[in-house]
Amino acid sequence: MSFTYWIFVALTGLLLTFLSYGTFATAQLLRHWQPDRNLLLMPAETGLRLAMVVFTFVLGSLSGVPAAQLGWTLHQWRPQLLIGLGWGVALATIFYWTTRWLLQHGGERYYSAVVIHAITPKTNRELVAVLLAMIPVVLLEEMLFRSLLIGGFQILLPAPMLVIGWGIFFGALHSPQGRWGMIGAGLAGILLGMLFLYTGSVVAPLVAHYVANSVQVVQAMRRGYGRVQTDKFTER
């Protein structure tokens, strides 16, 4: 393995650490503070995400790993779009009904809606903006967790081990959302990793991830999560 590959490994680790710290810090902050706008529509944060997306492409190029192994291919992209769409709808449906059941039977004991409150649109116009803003969010996570950490790290460890290991880590990043948030995200991470290996491309998991998140946001908006959070802080 070349020296530049180890630089790739180190810088990818730093990016993962930075993203993890930011995720936990934001979740803790949201317990005591409500942003004056949707969390996904803050220009500085959006700019930072776009910069990190560009950085993931730089890291992939630096690694020396073949583009096909990183999933940077568009072969049979139409079937991959359909596969991603199907997986995304399935993931969103499972997560929605499981979350709803847990909230009805255990309140916020198993699932905390603090984060979803902060990203739920209040108007249809804001919904469009949020759906656009989620593109770099999902692209960053798929480029990092699927393309780089699975595709790029296969030189170091077997692919199944990477899929399971990084899937669990992906779930741990969602621990501020409670036990189910962590378990659900972990299972989704593993399934998206399997989809990445099966299709040999980042396209299908990217579409599945985006569709799943989009459906959840629309469902949260219909249930009035954005209004609930505003009223909650107003009462204080």
Range of the domain at 194: 3-235
Q: State the Cα–Cα distance between residues 74 and 69, nearest whole angstrom.
A: 13
Write down the pLDDT at residue 231: 45
Interhelix angle 203-222/225-235, nearest 10 degrees: 50
Q: Does the pLDDT of residue 236 top 70, yes or no?
A: no
- Range in 69-78, 82-91, 95-104, 223-232 with the lowest mean pLDDT: 223-232
Q: Is the dihedral of CA 213, 8, 60, 1 positive or negative?
A: negative
The Cα 193–Cα 163 span in angstroms is 5
Q: How many domains does the chain have?
A: 1
pLDDT in tens, 131-140: 999 999 999 9
Average pLDDT over residues 180-185: 84
Alpha helices in the chain (DSSP H): 3-30, 43-63, 67-70, 77-106, 114-119, 124-142, 159-172, 178-199, 203-222, 225-235
Copy the structure tokens of residue 42.
Answer: 């803050």
